[in-house]
Chains A and B, each alone.
Chain A
Amino acid sequence: MKKLLKKFSPQNILKGLLLGALLLLPLLIQNGPYAYYIRSLGLIGLYALLALGLNFTLGYAGLFDLGYIAFYAIGAYTAALASIHGWGFLPAAFCAVVLAVAVRFLEGIPILRLRGDYLAIVTMGFGEITRLVLNNLDSLTNGPKGLPRVGENIYPARLLGFTLTTNTHYYYLILILVLLAVVISYRLEHSRLGRAWVAIREDELAAELSGIPVAKMKLLAFVISGGFAAIGGCVFAFWERFVTPESFVFWESVLIVAMIVAGGMGSIGGVLLGALILGGIPQILQVVLVGSRWIDYRYFFFGLILVLTVMFRPQGLLPSQRRKTEMLGE
């Protein structure tokens, strides 16, 4: 009985209602004047996927990565190239993930022994190098003009005999992926691995002395993040059917870091809320301010909201419970 009551706690009911709303929303609005928001929500969903991915590196293991968007880019470009050459969605996604994970692994081995800000700078450098290479390697990536070239095509994704063409289709695909990411995050967070990561984040030396293979664990968190980014990039490429280096600038990496920090590092709910707010604010402001003379001010307000958020909630909007208890302990 108690177990049953716990299952129907207000919190769980709220989560259920939210999920129901997210499932039904596109069906309700897809034929109305607000159909455009399905696309906005899909984009926010992609940010949520990326933020949940980076949360392994930044939130759990405490590694400051400022070049994360590079792996989104690698995923997107791999998928685009695969599709241009006639590959389907699943093989392209597989390829994207394998490549991104491999690159992330090779990047991680030398750099993960660096600490704090140095790691941030090296990952930033790596992210910029990736973008510049995509921009300059005309023979492979068509440079700043992006893929596909004239006469080539990125074909819509086909999954289980179903072709995904509309924004609503991709919305559901992204929603499923985000839910999967939440489940994976939750299971890993409450496993041996998750506890090891948190131990490393809190005190690397103590973790090492407690028998945690620190280098391996860090690399694992780093690589898992890369896989999430690649899947997001792959979906992005098939959805937009067009990729350019412009989508993968440094600010995007920073924005994802900001989502995690503003939401609450290491807290799944916080990260989702951060992605919703930071990913959504520019679009909400766009809607609210459209037609008024304030429309051009939306990025200014976005900056202001960022500053005010950390001023009033420096621990994040929804801080992780585990972290909270640690803070009280000190």
Chain B
Amino acid sequence: MFSQQLVNGLVLGSIYSLIALGYTLVYGILMMINFAHSEVFMVGAFLGLGACALFGHVGGGWVSVVGVFVLAMAGGGLLGVLIERLAYRPLRHAMRLIPLISAIGVSIMLSNSVFLWISNQSLPFPQIIAGHPIALGNFELNSLQLLIFTISIVLMIGLSLFIKHSKVGKAMRACADDIATAGLMGINANKIIAITFLIGGALAAAAGVLNGVYYGTIKYNIGFLVGVKAFTAAVLGGIGNIAGAVLGGFVLGIIEVMAAGYLPDGNQWKDVVAFVVLIGVLLLRPSGLLGEKIAEKV
């Protein structure tokens, strides 16, 4: 039972982590909560659905799975860039709460666009990856879970290599450190910010597809709750910190699944437990699990 729940928690956590990365990357550079991010996740899932229909004619197999991911991630990334360009960039020097309002506006527009033009019902997500049980000692692992976990980990490792070793990654770190000085060093901050939104959007779309494959249905309103949880994960790990977002995602996923499994009426109370953990961490360690303590600027 315990190891079974642990596996479920890791799979759920890997989806949270992928979305949390998008929140944390943007926050690291712009110090801003990208509230529309959860809707990019949702749109990503629907793009995946569309891509499935497209590749269904080409034939199944690994090519189509990769194709679905590439298309959804490209679409999600572009959507992220578009949101930044249209809704955030014009407001970059406004008061801090102002971009939040435009983010809310964009979120409403995105979820209603899907509601209006695609469907207001739950749609079945095709099982592009067939899951079959793998017996491992005394517990069973579904190959689908293993695959979701693996894809997430590959994406996360790819991101961390990119940020650590590529020139653009270095520029991203410079911008996160001090965006004004980075500009003086010849870094095109606008370009770096756009790339950040591109990466965040692509990861959220990948999470959307994985979520669709895992649960089998998607709906226009799935973004909100998952988004809140992923944001919680980012804060839990220490917002702005990439390793923290991953750790926070896994911790939150595991806590949620354990609460659902072990508490009486756990399914009802698991979200309460997740939020209580968040509040507890913030009160006892406001900078999150891996966040650095930031000195007060005077």
- List A residues at the B interface (Cβ < 8 Å): 64, 110-111, 114, 116-118, 120-122, 124-126, 128-129, 132-133, 135-136, 205, 250, 254, 257-258, 261-262, 265, 296-297, 299-300, 302-307, 309-311, 314-315
What is the total number of residues of chain B having a CB less than 8 Å from a CB of chain A?
43
CB distance from B47 to the nearest CB of A (A): 19
> When A111-B283, A257-B97, A307-B102 are in contact, do A296 and B90 touch as well, CB less than 8 Å?
no
Q: Is the CB of A300 within 8 A of B101?
A: no
Would you call A122 and B283 a contact (CB within 8 A)?
Answer: yes
Q: Which of B87, B100, B224, B283 contacts A110 (CB 8 A)?
A: B283
C-alpha spacing A303/B105, complex, angstroms: 4
Docked-complex contact B279 and A300, CB < 8 angstroms = no
Interface of A is mostly: helix
Q: Is B16 an interface residue (CB 8 A)?
A: no
In the complex formed, the residue of A with least CB distance to B109 is: A303
Check A304 against B105 for contact (C-beta < 8 Å). yes
Given A136-B269, A262-B101, is A126 in contact with B279 using a C-beta cutoff of 8 Å? yes
Query: For the complex, would chain B's binding face be called helix, strand, loop or mixed by DSSP majority?
Result: helix
Instruction: Tell me if A136 and B272 are in contact (CB < 8 A).
Output: yes
Q: List B residues at the A interface (Cβ < 8 Å).
A: 31, 33, 87, 90-91, 94-102, 104-109, 112-113, 116, 224, 228, 231-232, 235, 239, 265, 268-269, 271-272, 275-276, 278-279, 282-283, 286, 296, 298
Closest residue of chain A to B90 (Cβ to Cβ) is: A311
Docked CA distance A64–B98 (Å) = 12
Cα distance, A118 to B105, chains bound together (Å): 22
Q: Quick one: closest A residue to B288, CB to CB?
A: A118
CB distance from A249 to the nearest CB of B (A): 9
Contact (Cβ within 8 A) A300 B116: yes
Cβ-closest chain B residue relative to A119: B282
A306–B123 Cα distance when bound, in Å, is 29
**Is the beta-carbon distance between A118 and B272 smaller than 8 angstroms?**
no
B97 engages A265 (CB within 8 Å): yes
B296 A205 Cβ-Cβ under 8 A? yes
Shortest beta-carbon distance from A122 to chain B in Å: 5
Interface pairs (15), CB distance under 8 Å: A124-B228, A126-B275, A136-B268, A250-B224, A257-B101, A258-B104, A261-B98, A261-B100, A297-B112, A303-B106, A303-B108, A306-B108, A311-B90, A311-B91, A314-B95
| Least distance between A104 CB and chain B CB atoms (Å) | 15
B98–A118 touching, CB < 8 Å: no
* Nearest A-chain residue to B93, judged by Cβ: A314
CB <8 Å contact, A116 and B94? no
Report if A261-B105 is in contact (Cβ < 8 Å); known contacts: A111-B283, A118-B286, A126-B279.
no
- CB–CB B228/A311 < 8 A: no
Q: Are A300 and B100 in contact (CB under 8 A)?
A: no
Give the nearest-CB partner of B276 in chain A: A129
Asked if residues A304 and B101 are in contact (CB atoms below 8 Å), the reply is: no
* Assembled-state Cα–Cα distance A315/B98 (Å): 8
Residue in contact with A122 in the complex, picked from B269, B282, B296, CB distance below 8 Å: B282
Q: Are A121 and B108 in contact (CB under 8 A)?
A: no
When chains A and B are docked, how far (Å) is the Cα of A303 from the Cα of B110?
A: 9
Contacts of A110 in B (CB 8 A): 283
Known: A111-B283, A124-B228, A136-B269. A306 touches B101 (CB 8 A): yes
Q: How far is the CA of A110 from the CA of B284 in the complex (A)?
A: 10
Q: Kindly list chain B residues whose C-beta atoms are within 8 Å of the C-beta of A250.
A: 224, 228
- Measured between beta carbons, the chain B residues less than 8 angstroms from A135 are 268
User: Bound complex: CA of A118 vs CA of B31, how far in Å?
Assistant: 12
Instruction: Report B254 CB to chain A, min CB distance, Å.
Output: 18
Q: Least Cβ distance of B259 to chain A in Å?
A: 12
Bound-state CA distance A124–B100 (Å) is: 14
Q: Do B298 and A205 touch across chains, with their CB atoms under 8 A apart? A: yes
Cβ contact within 8 Å between B104 and A132: no
